[in-house]
């Protein structure tokens, strides 16, 4: 006979996993373009309904639309125009527009991101070791827009560099009663920030969406100053390194490491934190934040072989899966990192290719992190 504890755990898993399984099933049943296409035909559109639940938002519903701008182009990597909108039962609203272009035989790579949010959230304070329960966090509501544009030019084989521009305007309404979000916290009331930056990238991967071999390195610096309109003066630096190795006929192992460091008068919502989607999948965004962040990730991924019972054009060459393990921590100084302070995360995921030729996937992951189980859904891989 199952114990009451076991029954509660199974019931919790059922409630959390059902929305994820529902979206996966719905996505595989609905044609993602105007009509079902053979995998050899160019795909111009993809439509994905969004239905998911997690601890931060409760149930979320919305839609994701992708326009493939050059599906038949054999000289340039895949360019896309993405739009997504979602609303949650707790009142969170987010609208995203995110185009990406590869131009002149991949000589130029241009990315942009424009977001509108109305986002009730919780402030847990700073640091890596304060396990403050959700009921003891300070509630607030952030409203505003943010965006960035990055233009990189290939300077020699696999290496590119270029400028970046970033901005954010938010108003924050403090609804807290626990005294965490005090007047001494930078950015307590929101404000405007604007930054300029520089990006350098080495990309030796064999594919941009579903890499099976190769190395990816990126260094990113940004500077926010009152001289160009920012209400806060601070600096941000990010280093990323990824390596992919093929395994068997259809699989690959990927490893990744990320270091973020910030200095100056940093608004609390701009401090490094695991986002719960690409990093520490399933964690509540902002649960742990501070001036510095260190993350390591490992993942095995594969897509299903071309078996005869998977020959339907909505399924053939589209289904995949992943298993991952991650760990991360934040610290107030770079010297404050400690091996004992890593927060572990592990889980499994499903993949459905919206564009089999480029393997741009719908990604549904289940993370076991911070003593709980939670889903994460997005397009493209976590890294």
Domain ranges of the chain: 4-379
CA dihedral 262, 264, 268, 270 (to 10 degrees): -50
Alpha-carbon span 47 to 27, nearest angstrom: 9
Confidence at residue 304, expressed as pLDDT on a 0 to 100 scale: 86
Stretch 272-278: mean pLDDT:
92
Stretch 336-352: mean pLDDT:
95
Confidence at residue 360, expressed as pLDDT on a 0 to 100 scale: 83
CA distances for 37 relative to 28, 224, 315, angstroms: 13, 47, 11
Task: Give the number of other Cβ atoms within 10 Å of residue 374's Cβ.
Answer: 24
Alpha-carbon span 319 to 351, nearest angstrom: 6
Share of the chain above pLDDT 90, in %: 63
Give the residue among 292, 276, 376 at the shortest CA–CA distance from 60.
Answer: 376
Confidence at residue 19, expressed as pLDDT on a 0 to 100 scale: 44
11 or 249: whose pLDDT is higher? Answer: 249
CA distances for 107 relative to 78, 149, 201, angstroms: 13, 17, 13
Task: Give the number of other Cβ atoms within 10 Å of residue 290's Cβ.
Answer: 22
Tokens of 138: 């300070």
Alpha-carbon span 143 to 92, nearest angstrom: 10
Alpha-carbon span 353 to 228, nearest angstrom: 42
DSSP calls for 115-128: EEEEEEEEE--SBS
Confidence at residue 102, expressed as pLDDT on a 0 to 100 scale: 94
Spatial contact of 351 and 319, defined as CB atoms under 8 Å apart: yes
Confidence at residue 308, expressed as pLDDT on a 0 to 100 scale: 65
Q: Tens digit of pLDDT for each residue in 22-46?
A: 444 444 334 344 333 444 567 788 8
Spatial contact of 315 and 357, defined as CB atoms under 8 Å apart: no
Stretch 263-275: mean pLDDT:
96
Spatial contact of 377 and 19, defined as CB atoms under 8 Å apart: no
83 or 9: whose pLDDT is higher? Answer: 83
Confidence at residue 309, expressed as pLDDT on a 0 to 100 scale: 67
108 or 38: whose pLDDT is higher? Answer: 108
Please say whether the structural domain 4-379 has been given the CATH code 2.40.160.50. yes
Confidence at residue 41, expressed as pLDDT on a 0 to 100 scale: 66
Alpha-carbon span 224 to 234, nearest angstrom: 5
Helix (H) or strand (E) holding 13: helix 4-29
Strand partners, 92: none
Alpha-carbon span 32 to 107, nearest angstrom: 30
Confidence at residue 54, expressed as pLDDT on a 0 to 100 scale: 67
308 or 108: whose pLDDT is higher? Answer: 108
Give the distance from CA 61 to its chain's centroid.
18
């Amino acid at each position: 006979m199952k114990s009451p504890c076991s029954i509660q755990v199974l019931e919790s898993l059922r409630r959390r996993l059902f929305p994820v399984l529902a979206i996966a099933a719905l996505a595989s049943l609905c044609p993602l373009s105007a009509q079902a296409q053979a995998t050899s035909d160019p795909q111009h559109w993809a439509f994905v309904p969004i239905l998911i639940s997690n601890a931060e938002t409760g149930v979320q519903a919305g839609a994701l639309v992708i326009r493939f701008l050059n599906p038949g182009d054999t000289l340039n990597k895949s360019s896309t125009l993405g739009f997504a909108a979602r609303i949650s039962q707790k009142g969170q609203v987010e609208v995203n527009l995110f185009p990406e272009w590869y131009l002149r035989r991949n000589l130029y790579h241009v990315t942009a991101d424009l977001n509108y949010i109305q986002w009730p959230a919780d402030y847990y304070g700073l640091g890596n070791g304060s396990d403050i329960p959700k009921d003891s966090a300070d509630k607030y509501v952030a409203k505003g827009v943010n965006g960035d544009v990055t233009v990189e030019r290939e300077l020699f084989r696999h290496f590119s560099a270029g400028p970046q521009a970033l901005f954010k305007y938010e108003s924050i309404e403090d609804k807290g009663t626990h005294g965490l979000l005090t007047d001494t916290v930078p950015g307590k009331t929101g404000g405007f920030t604007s930054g300029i930056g520089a990006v350098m990238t080495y990309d030796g991967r064999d594919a941009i969406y579903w890499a099976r071999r190769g190395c990816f390195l990126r260094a990113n610096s940004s500077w926010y100053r009152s001289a160009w309109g920012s209400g806060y003066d601070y600096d941000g630096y990010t280093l990323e390194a990824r390596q992919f190795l093929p395994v068997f006929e259809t699989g690959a192992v990927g490893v990744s490491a990320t270091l973020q460091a910030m200095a100056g008068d940093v608004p609390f919502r701009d401090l490094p934190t695991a986002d719960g989607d690409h990093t520490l999948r399933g964690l509540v965004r902002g649960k742990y934040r501070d001036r510095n962040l260190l993350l390591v990730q490992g993942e095995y991924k594969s897509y299903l072989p071309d078996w005869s019972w998977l020959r339907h054009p909505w399924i053939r060459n589209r289904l995949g899966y992943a298993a991952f393990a991650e760990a991360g921590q934040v610290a107030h100084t770079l010297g404050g990192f400690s091996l004992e302070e890593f927060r572990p995360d592990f889980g499994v995921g499903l993949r459905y290719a919206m564009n089999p030729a480029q393997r741009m996937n719908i990604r549904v992951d289940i993370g076991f992190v911070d003593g709980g189980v939670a889903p994460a859904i997005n397009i493209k891989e976590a890294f």
